[in-house]
Structure 1
Amino acid sequence: MEAREVILRPVITEASMADLDDKRYTFDVNTQATKFQIRDAVEEIFDVKVANVNVMNLKGKKKRMGRYEGYTKKRRKAIVTLTPESQEIKIFEEE
Protein backbone atom coordinates (compact mmCIF):
# COMPACT_ATOMS: atom_id res chain seq x y z
CA MET A 1 0.00 0.00 0.00
CA GLU A 2 1.43 3.41 -0.98
CA ALA A 3 1.72 6.30 1.47
CA ARG A 4 -1.07 8.32 -0.17
CA GLU A 5 -3.41 5.31 0.07
CA VAL A 6 -2.76 4.96 3.82
CA ILE A 7 -3.38 8.59 4.89
CA LEU A 8 -6.79 9.70 3.60
CA ARG A 9 -7.34 13.15 5.17
CA PRO A 10 -6.59 15.15 8.32
CA VAL A 11 -9.35 15.35 10.93
CA ILE A 12 -10.22 18.99 11.64
CA THR A 13 -12.17 19.25 14.91
CA GLU A 14 -11.93 21.45 17.98
CA ALA A 15 -10.30 18.67 20.00
CA SER A 16 -7.77 17.81 17.29
CA MET A 17 -6.84 21.48 16.84
CA ALA A 18 -6.13 21.75 20.58
CA ASP A 19 -3.64 18.86 20.29
CA LEU A 20 -1.58 20.62 17.59
CA ASP A 21 0.40 22.49 20.28
CA ASP A 22 1.63 19.13 21.64
CA LYS A 23 2.60 17.97 18.11
CA ARG A 24 -0.29 15.48 17.99
CA TYR A 25 -2.05 15.20 14.63
CA THR A 26 -5.22 13.27 13.80
CA PHE A 27 -5.77 11.60 10.43
CA ASP A 28 -8.40 9.39 8.84
CA VAL A 29 -6.53 6.35 7.56
CA ASN A 30 -7.26 3.26 5.49
CA THR A 31 -9.21 0.66 7.49
CA GLN A 32 -6.59 -2.02 6.75
CA ALA A 33 -3.51 0.09 7.54
CA THR A 34 -1.29 -0.98 10.42
CA LYS A 35 0.50 1.31 12.89
CA PHE A 36 3.81 0.70 11.11
CA GLN A 37 2.33 1.63 7.71
CA ILE A 38 0.78 4.78 9.20
CA ARG A 39 4.09 5.81 10.78
CA ASP A 40 6.02 5.23 7.55
CA ALA A 41 3.41 7.10 5.47
CA VAL A 42 3.43 10.19 7.73
CA GLU A 43 7.23 10.26 7.78
CA GLU A 44 7.37 9.94 3.98
CA ILE A 45 4.66 12.48 3.12
CA PHE A 46 5.44 15.22 5.65
CA ASP A 47 9.20 14.59 6.18
CA VAL A 48 8.94 14.41 9.99
CA LYS A 49 9.93 11.94 12.72
CA VAL A 50 7.06 10.07 14.43
CA ALA A 51 7.32 9.13 18.11
CA ASN A 52 3.99 7.34 18.66
CA VAL A 53 0.88 6.20 16.75
CA ASN A 54 -2.49 5.47 18.39
CA VAL A 55 -5.29 3.96 16.28
CA MET A 56 -9.07 3.84 16.81
CA ASN A 57 -11.68 1.90 14.85
CA LEU A 58 -14.98 3.79 14.65
CA LYS A 59 -18.20 1.95 13.84
CA GLY A 60 -20.75 3.46 11.47
CA LYS A 61 -23.63 5.40 13.01
CA LYS A 62 -27.23 4.28 12.50
CA LYS A 63 -29.10 6.70 10.20
CA ARG A 64 -32.66 6.82 8.90
CA MET A 65 -34.32 8.26 5.80
CA GLY A 66 -38.05 7.87 6.35
CA ARG A 67 -38.78 4.21 6.89
CA TYR A 68 -35.39 3.08 5.59
CA GLU A 69 -32.44 2.76 7.88
CA GLY A 70 -28.81 1.93 7.44
CA TYR A 71 -25.35 2.70 8.72
CA THR A 72 -22.75 5.27 7.75
CA LYS A 73 -19.31 4.09 6.69
CA LYS A 74 -16.98 2.67 9.31
CA ARG A 75 -13.62 4.39 9.54
CA ARG A 76 -10.24 4.24 11.24
CA LYS A 77 -8.64 7.22 12.94
CA ALA A 78 -4.96 7.60 13.85
CA ILE A 79 -3.45 10.06 16.33
CA VAL A 80 0.20 10.61 15.45
CA THR A 81 2.63 12.14 17.97
CA LEU A 82 5.83 13.68 16.62
CA THR A 83 9.20 13.80 18.36
CA PRO A 84 10.08 17.09 20.15
CA GLU A 85 12.91 17.90 17.72
CA SER A 86 10.74 17.25 14.64
CA GLN A 87 9.30 20.13 12.64
CA GLU A 88 5.54 20.80 12.66
CA ILE A 89 3.15 19.66 9.92
CA LYS A 90 1.52 22.51 8.03
CA ILE A 91 -2.14 21.50 7.68
CA PHE A 92 -3.24 25.00 6.65
CA GLU A 93 -1.05 26.95 4.25
CA GLU A 94 -0.10 30.33 5.71
CA GLU A 95 0.49 33.27 3.41
Structure 2
Amino acid sequence: MSALEQLDYVKAYFMPYRNDMACLEDVYMAILYPAAIGQPPTHVLFKKGSIAYRQNAGIDRKNSGKITLADVSYKVRRKLEKGMHPKFYG
Protein backbone atom coordinates (compact mmCIF):
# COMPACT_ATOMS: atom_id res chain seq x y z
CA MET A 1 0.00 0.00 0.00
CA SER A 2 1.42 3.39 -0.93
CA ALA A 3 1.68 6.30 1.48
CA LEU A 4 -1.16 7.99 -0.39
CA GLU A 5 -3.40 4.92 -0.10
CA GLN A 6 -2.70 4.73 3.63
CA LEU A 7 -4.11 8.22 4.15
CA ASP A 8 -7.66 6.88 3.87
CA TYR A 9 -6.99 4.75 6.96
CA VAL A 10 -5.36 7.65 8.79
CA LYS A 11 -8.39 9.81 8.07
CA ALA A 12 -10.77 7.08 9.26
CA TYR A 13 -8.79 6.69 12.49
CA PHE A 14 -8.88 10.42 13.31
CA MET A 15 -12.52 11.04 12.31
CA PRO A 16 -14.02 10.18 15.74
CA TYR A 17 -11.72 12.76 17.38
CA ARG A 18 -12.07 15.50 14.76
CA ASN A 19 -14.14 17.83 16.97
CA ASP A 20 -12.02 17.23 20.07
CA MET A 21 -8.55 18.03 18.78
CA ALA A 22 -7.76 21.67 19.48
CA CYS A 23 -3.95 21.57 19.60
CA LEU A 24 -0.90 19.53 18.68
CA GLU A 25 -1.01 17.70 22.00
CA ASP A 26 -4.60 16.58 21.38
CA VAL A 27 -3.58 15.12 18.02
CA TYR A 28 -0.75 13.20 19.66
CA MET A 29 -3.07 12.01 22.44
CA ALA A 30 -5.47 10.67 19.80
CA ILE A 31 -2.62 8.30 18.93
CA LEU A 32 -1.01 7.61 22.30
CA TYR A 33 -3.85 7.87 24.84
CA PRO A 34 -7.22 9.13 23.52
CA ALA A 35 -8.73 9.48 27.00
CA ALA A 36 -6.30 12.37 27.60
CA ILE A 37 -7.56 14.55 24.74
CA GLY A 38 -8.45 17.96 26.14
CA GLN A 39 -6.92 17.30 29.57
CA PRO A 40 -4.79 19.91 31.37
CA PRO A 41 -0.97 19.75 31.28
CA THR A 42 -0.88 18.34 34.82
CA HIS A 43 -2.94 15.29 33.83
CA VAL A 44 -1.03 12.10 34.67
CA LEU A 45 -1.02 9.58 31.84
CA PHE A 46 1.16 6.84 33.29
CA LYS A 47 2.69 6.07 36.70
CA LYS A 48 5.87 4.22 37.54
CA GLY A 49 5.24 0.53 38.00
CA SER A 50 2.86 0.22 35.07
CA ILE A 51 3.72 -1.35 31.74
CA ALA A 52 2.68 1.86 29.97
CA TYR A 53 5.09 3.88 32.12
CA ARG A 54 7.93 1.46 31.42
CA GLN A 55 7.25 1.62 27.68
CA ASN A 56 7.26 5.44 27.75
CA ALA A 57 9.76 6.12 30.57
CA GLY A 58 11.91 8.29 28.30
CA ILE A 59 9.15 10.89 28.30
CA ASP A 60 9.40 11.41 32.10
CA ARG A 61 11.68 14.46 31.88
CA LYS A 62 12.07 14.95 35.63
CA ASN A 63 12.20 11.27 36.57
CA SER A 64 9.23 11.93 38.84
CA GLY A 65 7.73 8.49 38.41
CA LYS A 66 4.83 9.88 36.44
CA ILE A 67 4.32 10.99 32.88
CA THR A 68 2.12 14.02 32.52
CA LEU A 69 0.62 15.64 29.48
CA ALA A 70 3.18 18.44 29.98
CA ASP A 71 5.98 15.88 29.65
CA VAL A 72 4.50 14.57 26.42
CA SER A 73 3.87 18.09 25.15
CA TYR A 74 7.52 19.01 25.67
CA LYS A 75 8.74 16.02 23.65
CA VAL A 76 6.21 16.47 20.85
CA ARG A 77 6.86 20.20 20.47
CA ARG A 78 10.63 19.66 20.41
CA LYS A 79 10.23 17.09 17.63
CA LEU A 80 7.98 19.49 15.70
CA GLU A 81 10.53 22.31 16.03
CA LYS A 82 13.31 20.02 14.85
CA GLY A 83 11.21 18.78 11.93
CA MET A 84 10.43 22.35 10.86
CA HIS A 85 14.13 23.13 10.45
CA PRO A 86 14.97 23.88 6.79
CA LYS A 87 17.48 21.02 6.60
CA PHE A 88 14.56 18.59 6.97
CA TYR A 89 12.48 20.04 4.14
CA GLY A 90 12.09 17.49 1.44
For Structure 1 versus Structure 2, the TM-score category normalised by the shorter chain is under 0.3
Structure with bigger helix share is 2
Structure with bigger strand share is 1
Larger RCO of the pair (alpha carbons < 8 Å, separation 6+)? 1
TM-score (norm 1): 0.23
